[in-house]
Amino acid sequence: MAMVLENITKQVARESHIKDISLQLEPGTFNVLLGRTLSGKTTLMRLMAGLDRPSQGRILMNGKDLTGLPIRKRDVAMVYQQFINYPSMTVYKNIASPLRLAKVPEKEIDLRVREVAEILHIEPLLERLPVELSGGQQQRTAIARALVKDTELLLLDEPLVNLDYKLREELRIEMREIFKLRKSIVVYATTEPLEALALGGNTAVLYEGQLEQFGDTIDVYQHPKTTRIAQAFSDPAMNFVTGEIDADNLSLGSSQKIPRQQHFAQLKPGKYQLGMRPNHLQLTQQKTTDIAFKTTIGIAEISGSETFVHVVHNDHSWIAQLQGIHKYTMGEEVEVFINPSHLYVFNPQGHLVASPNGASAVTN
């Protein structure tokens, strides 16, 4: 059965850290909490774990009310972003520690410790102390200690944030495969949209303690219900421009008018906000149907195999994410292009009314 959060609110000194969140998480699912720093991810996890108690609402597991139950009486494990291991214990003893506390027979402990060590590729390290491990090895040990308990609920609070890029990519791929084999409810917190996409499963977007949207990760990415979600679930953030639709045409900013077509053809005449993902903006025309904007270069940031070009169109600041290395001069005037098939359409209140993938969140 599921874990159910019913109208959960957490207040600290009259300040709401979590605001009326209701959520249902099913066994065997991988669930990402996505949001910026201070959006409420860690607070929500602490409430799920029993480390804190909600000011209002209930937390149910398999139909049982756990709201006031302390963590030691719950079937839960948690991994933090810091490498939290017992410094005086070997890797083997660190992993075995929760099983020994639960008085599991030593033969079974040995079997389970070695099994999870093999899954996380740390079998050769079992007799080492944490001080002898790299950051990635220490985090693998912490994850192994959580996995070995085989709990109903496994919480991971930005567990890869302190690792270098290569280790993060390696562990991310491994964890996705590991959790496919388990029946636990897994909840993983991150600030990074790309990490949420890489991990898959379901995603809950949080903003200032509120649940903005929850569903299949790809569906939430492709059909963000609001401009706020669209910005949160895009890296860099989605670009916006005001637009107007009349009986025959769509006008964007001071750009040329284009005939109504594709996914915005059925929208009523009026003013809208149009969203453009940075990777869909180009500085060279790809198709004759592309919309052109006159812009001014602010700065170009070269990052590995990509270049992030900051441009200004009227009063709008945008970022174009280009493949390869490109050099531009600050103040240079350039045209930026986007194919209209990539446009997201939001009403003046910021709610999605049409997306490139054919779904709408509200009736126009």
At 100-136, the pLDDT tens digits run 999 999 999 999 999 999 988 899 999 999 999 988 8
Domain C-terminal end among 230, 253, 277: 230
**Per-residue model confidence (pLDDT) at position 364:** 40
**Per-residue model confidence (pLDDT) at position 255:** 63
Q: Would you say residue 362 lies in a domain?
A: no
Q: Output the pTM of the full model.
A: 0.90
Confidence of residue 41 (pLDDT cuts 50, 70, 90): very high
Least confident of 197-201, 265-269, 298-302, 332-336: 265-269
Q: Would you say residue 35 lies in a domain?
A: yes
> Are residues 332 and 314 part of one domain?
yes
Q: Would you say residue 359 lies in a domain?
A: no
Cα torsion angle, 223, 192, 121, 138, sign: negative
Buried b (16+ CB within 10 A) or exposed e, 319-343: bbbbeeeeebeeeeebebbbbbebb
102: left (phi over 0), alpha (psi -120 to 50) or beta: alpha
Token code pair at residue 162: 């302190």
In this model, does residue 247 exceed pLDDT 90?
A: no
Domain C-terminal end among 213, 230, 247: 230
Bond from prior residue into 236 cis (ω within 30 degrees of 0): yes
| Strands (DSSP E) found in 208-364 | 210-216, 239-245, 249-252, 258-259, 270-276, 291-303, 306-313, 316-323, 333-338, 344-346, 352-354
Q: Where are the alpha helices (DSSP H) in 72-181?
A: 91-101, 106-119, 135-147, 165-180
Domain C-terminal end among 230, 263, 281: 230
Q: Would you say residue 148 lies in a domain?
A: yes
Nearest to 21 by CA among 146, 182, 204, 171: 204
Least confident of 43-57, 157-171, 204-218, 254-268: 254-268
Total structural domains in the chain? Answer: 2
**Distance between CA atoms of 29 and 53, rounded to whole angstroms?**
24
**Per-residue model confidence (pLDDT) at position 363:** 40
Confidence of residue 239 (pLDDT cuts 50, 70, 90): very high
- The domain of 199 spans 3-230
Q: Would you say residue 361 lies in a domain?
A: no
Mean residue pLDDT across the chain: 91
Cα torsion angle, 349, 355, 361, 364, sign: positive
> Are residues 179 and 133 part of one domain?
yes
**Per-residue model confidence (pLDDT) at position 362:** 45
Confidence of residue 289 (pLDDT cuts 50, 70, 90): confident
Q: What is the mean pLDDT of residues 68-81?
A: 89
* Dihedral over alpha carbons 141, 27, 36, 15 (to 10 degrees): -110
